[in-house]
Structure 1
Amino acid sequence: MSEQASNQRIYSRIAGTGSYLPEKVLTNDDLAKIVDTSDEWITSRTGIRQRHVAAEGETTGDLAYHAAVRAMEAAGVEASEIDLIVLGTTTPDIVFPSTACLLQHRLGANGCPAFDVNAACSGFVYALSVADKFIRTGSAKTVLVVGAETLTRMVDWSERTTCVLFGDGAGAVVLKADTETGILSTHLHADGGKKELLWNPVGVSTGFKENEKNAGVRIRMAGSEVFKYAVKALDAIVDETLEANSLDRHDLDWLIPHQANLRIIEATARRLDMPMERVIVTVDKHGNTSSGSVPLALDEAIRSGKVERGQLLLLEAFGGGFTWGSALLRY
């Protein structure tokens, strides 16, 4: 290798994307039959019209597998070529081994490192950032990054303010080391002091009291407080990301945000002075799929032909923890 070649900067470039949604679709009208709500109430407040629900026996790992296979096919990559698997999820199949390890075995990519990242709805962006660091340091050349969730397994179907929000799904990307521009930068933040505004209080070491109200694996959220904090945090990280790359907001071709609430997406778009025609929105069809949301939206945008090679994309997410993050990349 020549000295000039060895000094070239290495980027993480998206070689392929894939996604998977469970077959079952639960519409707002379906929900209105089991909880006190309506299509108008849900749509006006969230933008969500339907969500997908995993079938009985269908796991996060199942969704991740199908998304991963599609991403690998799109990238033209065999399992033997994968150097690392990073999987973002807050709904793992089992406590351990990690869902990434289970996925690795199922794909036949045995031998490479594989681990989960739990950053709630920011899980995929966190996982993407970790994978990017491995590639930039030369520790990996081909990385499978997945965001997958079965959030409907932890919703309280009697709580109308939360059960209407979440859905199941998975998305994946294959990153490859390349001298062509790919991921330009990633930015991650967290604030554990706000944990009780959006959390699931059940854990292995803490457990739960049987007589506690709504005891069990259930999402609890203070919606209005989360909304306010999310808008401010995403505003700040947008500025941070653009400043770090000496770019103007008008340089962006697409915003691909976490699909939690249409009003939060619209607020971020206004901050960027970006028309909604340049924002990828899937929340109406998918609901909030947590770690699955950004890669699901990315895959749909690419496969639909909206996102084209050479365009500049801003990915961002906000989730329980609180956690939030962004990734700026040239597709």
Structure 2
Amino acid sequence: MQKKMVKAVKIAATAHYVPQRIVTNDELSKIMETSDTWIQQHTGIKTRHYALDENTSDLCAKTAVKLLKEAQLPATAIDLIIVATITPDALTPATAILVQQKIGADAAVAFDVNAACAGFVFALNTAEKFMRQGIYKNALVIAGEVNSKMMDFQDRTSTVFFGDGAGGVLLSAVDDPAQEAFVAQELATKPAPEVIHSGRIPHVTQVSAQNYPSLDAFYQDGHAVFDFVITEVPRYIQHFLHINNVSLEELGLVVTHQANLRLIEGIAHKLALPLHLFAQNVVYYGNTSSAGIPIGLDLALKDGRGHKGLSLLSGFGAGLSYGSILLDLSHVGNH
């Protein structure tokens, strides 16, 4: 099969979905030792959404339907689906395959990416590379998490941060180079597997009829995460921009991982950038792990932000995995 040279990869649509059930800080304070005052002071989070009757594939599929509607494409036009998640419906099959089935994207190839809270950046980078091959025309890149099902509700230091949700983009290969969305990207890992982990599956210790698989709840070393983000992430962003000859003044939108508002404020301060340039969906959605960046991107674009200047997506999470993508979003939607 002869490949056609791809002249540009554009973002044809953005969308997100969160469950209806809103959980307040006061509600959490009734089942664990915390308070609305403490949570807001330390995290800036006011509410989060929980998927009480939906799983990760449901959230992602509903996001996919929104993307298809916005891009005015049928599901049969999709030939690639990548889902970023650390809270899959199951270890196998991939959550992306369940999404494929639910939306009827019969012609697509589908698989998952696991890079924790940097997952969407990794998945978007991967999808862009696939699109350059000239084989794939339309791709869904979705990050979805049902973090609530992985929380230890006795662990107030972690549970109060997290919420559930999904967000994503629809990429299309186009012939007009002026519609190119991707300016630069970089991925990195710094092995530190004990800082954040979730769903560890222990090995068996004997051959026994009582053996049965089990996994552990989400855990993070909050202090180590805070130190890494405040010290390493701003330095990494500055280096990333420098090697791509982009100044901070050229940024019109910054969407970092939505860990908590205090970390976003810290990054803004270290970069000497105004806070209003940063997505802050963590306040009402909580930390939605890999979904935080695409949710923030969609909200910003729907609010009329991100169409001017360059947009920086920067994710960081367990691994430690981190990465950034510079986008030109001037042609998303009707722009």
Q: Normalised by the size of structure 1, how large is the TM-score? A: 0.91
Q: CA–CA distance in 2 between the matches of 1:139 and 1:232?
A: 41
Do the aligned partners of residues 208 and 112 (structure 1) sit closer, same or farther apart at CA in structure 2, a change above 3 Å counting? farther
- 2:250 pairs with 1:256: no
User: Residues 185, 82 of structure 1: CA spacing in aligned structure 2 closer, same or farther, 3 A cutoff?
Assistant: same
Q: Hey, what does 1:32 align to over in structure 2?
A: 29
Alignment correspondent of 2:118? 122
* Pick aligned residue for 2:197 from 192, 196, 199: 199
Query: Aligned to 1:71, which of 44, 67, 73?
Result: 67
**When the two structures are aligned, how many residues end up with a matched partner?**
316
CA contact (8 A) 1:165 1:287 kept: yes
RMSD after superposition: 1.9
> Given the alignment, which residue of 292, 310, 313 partners 1:312?
310
Shift of 1:244: 3.3
In structure 2, C-alpha distance between the alignment counterparts of 1:170 and 1:240, rounded to whole Å: 30
Task: Name which of structure 1's ranges 125-134 and 71-80 shifts more when overlaid on structure 2.
Answer: 71-80
Match for residue 101 of structure 1? Answer: 97
Q: Distance in 1 between matches of 2:184 and 2:205?
A: 40
Q: Is the 8 A contact 1:241 1:328 kept in 2?
A: no
Matches of 2:271 and 2:324 in 1, distance apart? Answer: 14
Partner Cα separation in structure 2 for residue 324 and residue 124 of structure 1: 10
The answer as to whether partners of 1:237 and 1:326 remain within 8 angstroms in 2 is no
Query: 1:148-159 residue pairs with structure 2 within 5 A?
Result: 148-159=144-155
Q: Distance in 2 between matches of 1:207 and 1:71?
A: 43
Matching of residue 286 in structure 1 with residue 264 in structure 2: no
Alignment partner of 2:52: what SS?
Answer: coil
SS at the partner of 2:193? helix
Q: How big is each residue's C-alpha offset from its partner over 1:258-283, in whole Å with a ceiling of 9 and x where there is no partner?
A: 11111221122123322111111111
Give yes or no for contact 1:233–1:324 (8 Å, CA) kept in 2: no
Separation of aligned partners in 2, 1:116 and 1:182: 23
Matched, 1:161 2:157: yes
**8 A Cα contact 2:150 2:199, kept in partner:** no
1:50 deviates by 0.8
C-alpha contact (below 8 Å) 2:46/2:283 kept by paired residues: yes
1:6-41 Cα offsets, whole Å, 9 max, x none, are 88x733211101111001111111111111101111
Q: Which residue of 1 aligns with 2:133?
A: 137
Counterparts of 1:227-266 in structure 2, within 5 Å, are 227-266=226-265
User: How far apart, in 1, do the equivalents of 2:239 and 2:128 lie?
Assistant: 18
> Which shows bigger deviation, 310-319 or 61-70?
310-319
Match of 2:86 in 1: 90
Q: Which amino acid is 1:144 matched to?
A: L
Distance of 2:233 and 2:137 partners within structure 1: 31
Q: Which amino acid letter does the alignment assign opposite residue 279 of structure 1?
A: F
| Cα distance in 1, alignment partners of residues 185 and 134 from structure 2 | 17
Deviation at 1:144, TM superposition (A): 0.4
Give the secondary structure class of the aligned counterpart of 2:185.
Answer: strand
* CA–CA distance in structure 1, aligned partners of residues 144 and 48 of structure 2: 14
Render the CA deviation track for 1:86-140: whole Å, top value 9, x for unaligned.
1000011112110001111111111321100011111111100000111223232
Q: Secondary structure at the match of 1:138?
A: coil
- Of 37, 40, 45, the match for 1:48: 45
Alignment-mate amino acid for residue 218 of structure 1 = A
- The percent of aligned pairs where both chains have the same amino acid is 38
Alpha-carbon distance in 2 for matches of 1:247, 1:71: 30
State the distance in 2 between where 1:314 and 1:208 align.
47
Q: What is the identity, as a one-letter code, of the residue corresponding to 1:112? A: A
Distance (Å, rounded) in 1 between the aligned partners of 2:232 and 2:131: 28
Aligned residue number for residue 211 of structure 2: none
Structure 2: state its 5+ residue gaps: 207-213, 330-335
Q: 1:120 to 1:136 in 2, by over 3 A?
A: same
Partner of 1:14, secondary structure, is strand
Q: Distance in 1 between matches of 2:267 and 2:147?
A: 25
Q: Alpha-carbon deviation of 1:166?
A: 0.6
> Hey, what's the Cα distance between the residues in 2 that align with 1:114 and 1:201?
23
The superposition leaves residues 20-69 of structure 1 with CA deviations (integer Å, 9 ceiling, x where unpaired) of: 1001111111111111101111111111111100013x100000011111
Give the aligned partner of residue 20 of structure 2: 23
Moved more, 109-118 or 269-278: 269-278
Does structure 2 retain, via aligned residues, the 8 Å contact 1:149–1:292? yes
How far has the Cα of 1:232 moved from its partner? 2.9
User: Residues 11 and 28 from structure 1, CA distance in 2 versus in 1: closer, same or farther, beyond 3 angstroms?
Assistant: same
